[in-house]
Amino acid sequence: MSHINFDFLTESILFGSGLEDKFSALSDYEIEKELNRYREYVISNMGEICREIISDSRKIAVTIESFSERPREELLKQLALYVDVVTISDPLFELTEKKSNSTKVMAEYYGMNSDNTIDREQLVAALKYMKESTILVVCNYVKYIPISYLHEAPMNVPITYDANNFSKSLPQPIMEFLKKNVQVHNTVRMDGGLRVELDKPLTRGTGLFIHFPDCGFKNGEIVQYQESEVVDFDENTRRATFRFFTPDNISQDTFNIWLDQSVNKACLHMYDETFQEVYLASRLNTMYLTQSTLKAQLLSKEMGKQSVDSQIANMALRLDVPVLENSKIADIISIRNDYGESFANFRTELGEKLLHLSNIKDNEQLENELQEVTYAINETYINQINRETRSLIRSLGIETTIATGSLLTNSMMSGNNMLSLIAASVAAIGGIKDTVKLFGDVRERPGYFLWKLNKENKQNKR
């Protein structure tokens, strides 16, 4: 199948029979050695991985954010007939990150385990997820990329200072917007680690948990107040040794300053990490899928007015289309590969329209073209899809239910979750370039669109 990650795994002990008993026959040392081999292999082949992922401009390709939970099978099934390629953060690569000495020291300081014991539960879950997706990888629908590499902690912790407590590190409207959506809680030390006091109001203390509720706890930050003092200074080498420590108490003024600085830095981190992923998606010629309304609003504020391809994609993806529910992934892939001509036509037509309309400069001509495209997709491709879907269900004997609605507003949605697609131009987020040099110089896809979905799950069973 010539997919870089899987070329390694199919020959690795990690894809062997040990999955069922959590590799009981292997020591932590042997597993860690194999994980290190995988990490080195992926990093050394990063250019080829990117080239394998880069989408043809006429195809509809999506990169799913790494911050939320791994995309569930139901989401992948529903996208399979309408999206050409879905790129997912490599869950195994996420487990290969090296812990720096400073990270280990801080873990011990917080009372947490800092040894190198392999978390076999996490390892098996990641491997099973990838192995079960093999059929999706083989047909070039799902591709894995180590997005987590963008967010790995530096081996040496930098000491930073800003005269304005980082309050001006972002444009003021952006900083104010993010600070309105942040929550801060105290942390308390306990046996085995820290407890976040989510059910109590914030009070003066030396430990904080800062997060954006709309983005999930995976985006949260634990912050510990520390002071420093010089314990040794060598006059000859001019080198000093510092001791960092947390005092038992701090004044209210000190707490207020530290709190403001910590929140500002958390906003900056959230902004940077989001745009790193969007920039990478853009350079891979894919759109970016986020489940966070906050991030969608942030991107909208930062990148501004929708472009031409934004309008046409926004229009097309809001159309009511048939979605197969409660069906087997193998049946969906069979339709995609062997029978889904009308679905392929839909994807191809949408991709070609994006290219064609992006070259139109005259507003009146653009408006006329948009109306024609809307009519054509509604009357031709959606009708073809409806006919083909019913015919395939009957002829193949697939057990499924046909639901009608906007593509991403069906059964994989729960509660008030939102999904948003963003296609961003590299020019709009050029400041992030240095953070993704590892991923090479790849093609750009112009344009930006933000697709918001109704929170309510409106379906018509047929």
DSSP annotation string for 350-384:
HHHHHHHHTT---HHHHHHHHHHHHHHIIIIIIHH
| Structural domain range at position 336 | 4-154+273-461
Which tokens belong to 80? 């399979």
Instruction: For residues 134 and 45, state if they share a domain.
Output: yes
pLDDT tens digit sequence for 390-420: 777 777 666 666 665 555 443 333 333 344 5
- Backbone Cα Rg of the chain: 25
pLDDT on residue 157 = 65
Domain end among 254, 271, 288:
271
Instruction: For residues 135 and 263, state if they share a domain.
Output: no
* Cβ contact 154:278 at 8 Å: no
Cα separation, 224 vs 245, in Å, equals 10
Work out the number of other CB atoms within 10 angstroms of the CB of residue 280.
26
Q: Which residue has the higher pLDDT, 317 or 208?
A: 208
Instruction: For residues 181 and 56, state if they share a domain.
Output: no
Taking the CA atoms of 63, 64, 70 and 75 in sequence, report the sign of the dihedral they define: negative
Residue 160 lies in a domain: no
For residue 95, is pLDDT > 80? yes
Ramachandran angles phi, psi of 164, nearest 5°: -105, 20
Cα separation, 3 vs 137, in Å, equals 8
CA distances from 46 to 8, 62, 90, 388, 436 (A): 13, 19, 12, 39, 11
Beta pairing, strands 85-89 & 142-145: parallel
For residue 14, is pLDDT > 50? yes
Instruction: For residues 278 and 416, state if they share a domain.
Output: yes
Beta pairing, strands 193-196 & 321-325: unpaired
Cα separation, 299 vs 183, in Å, equals 20
Instruction: For residues 54 and 150, state if they share a domain.
Output: yes
134-143 residues labelled b (16+ CB within 10 A) or e (exposed): bebbeeebbb
Instruction: For residues 134 and 277, state if they share a domain.
Output: yes
Residue 159 lies in a domain: no
Instruction: For residues 265 and 289, state if they share a domain.
Output: no
Weakest mean pLDDT among 17-21, 57-61, 105-109, 247-251: 105-109
Cα separation, 255 vs 237, in Å, equals 36
For residue 434, is pLDDT > 50? no
How far from the centroid of its chain's Cα atoms is residue 91's Cα?
11
Domain end among 271, 294, 322:
271
Weakest mean pLDDT among 85-94, 237-246, 258-267: 237-246
Instruction: For residues 136 and 60, state if they share a domain.
Output: yes
Residue 303 lies in a domain: yes
Which tokens belong to 365? 């001509």
Instruction: For residues 108 and 143, state if they share a domain.
Output: yes
DSSP string, 315-326: HHHTS-EEEEES
Domain end among 271, 286, 303:
271
Residue 109 lies in a domain: yes
Residue 148 lies in a domain: yes
For residue 20, is pLDDT > 60? yes
Instruction: For residues 392 and 437, state if they share a domain.
Output: yes
Cα separation, 221 vs 238, in Å, equals 35
Cα separation, 275 vs 430, in Å, equals 10
Q: Which residue has the higher pLDDT, 111 or 185?
A: 185
Cα separation, 350 vs 312, in Å, equals 8
Instruction: For residues 211 and 289, state if they share a domain.
Output: no
Q: Which residue has the higher pLDDT, 151 or 100?
A: 151
Reported as half-sphere exposure (CB side, CA atoms, 13 A), residue 330 has a value of: 4
DSSP H helices, 154-218, are: 172-179
Residue 91 lies in a domain: yes
| Long-range contact pairs involving 113-118 (C-beta distance under 8 Å, separation at least 24) | 113/192, 116/28, 116/32, 117/28, 118/28, 118/31, 118/32
Residue 164 lies in a domain: no
Cα separation, 208 vs 263, in Å, equals 10
Residue 144 lies in a domain: yes
Instruction: For residues 338 and 442, state if they share a domain.
Output: yes
Total count of domains within the chain: 2
| Mean pLDDT confidence for 307-318 | 52
